[in-house]
Amino acid sequence: DQQVKQNSPSLSVQEGRISILNCDYTNSMFDYFLWYKKYPAEGPTFLISISSIKDKNEDGRFTVFLNKSAKHLSLHIVPSQPGDSAVYFCAASGAGGSQGNLIFGKGTKLSVKP
């Protein structure tokens, strides 16, 4: 059973608008959440993270929000740019002492149209 779920396989957004990518998790032992970005023919690269003791972390155009009670996090990109078009993976760690191991979602493919 999936512990990290990204229920939207794809998202299309106009350049300059906000992109919101969602992620749900089931394991309450997760204490750190991350977003990775993947371009075709490349490996995933770390984008932004948030600790479970926070509910928001911002880095430039990227903001991650965490709602622990709902076991939900989201990544906001504003304004969206065509170069943001990629697959975004949500990941979580910290369960059961395996803090070094990441559990990933299926990914959401973001397309930003000029």
Partner 1 sequence: ETGVTQTPRHLVMGMTNKKSLKCEQHLGHNAMYWYKQSAKKPLELMFVYSLEERVENNSVPSRFSPECPNSSHLFLHLHTLQPEDSALYLCASSQLLQGGYGGYTFGSGTRLTVV
Interface residues with partner 1 (CB under 8 A) are: 2, 4, 9, 32, 34, 36, 41-46, 49, 89, 91, 93-94, 98-107
CB of 49 to partner 1, least distance (A): 5
Cα distances from 25 to residues 2, 7, 30, 43, in angstroms, run: 8, 11, 9, 23
From the CB of 100, what's the least distance to partner 1, in Å?
A: 4
Specify whether the CB–CB gap between 105 and 2 falls below 8 A.
yes
Q: Which is nearer to partner 1, 2 or 81 (CB)?
A: 2
What's the min distance (Å) between Cβ of 58 and partner 1?
Answer: 15
Pairing of strands 56-59, 62-67: antiparallel
Residue among 65 and 104 whose Cβ is closer to partner 1? 104
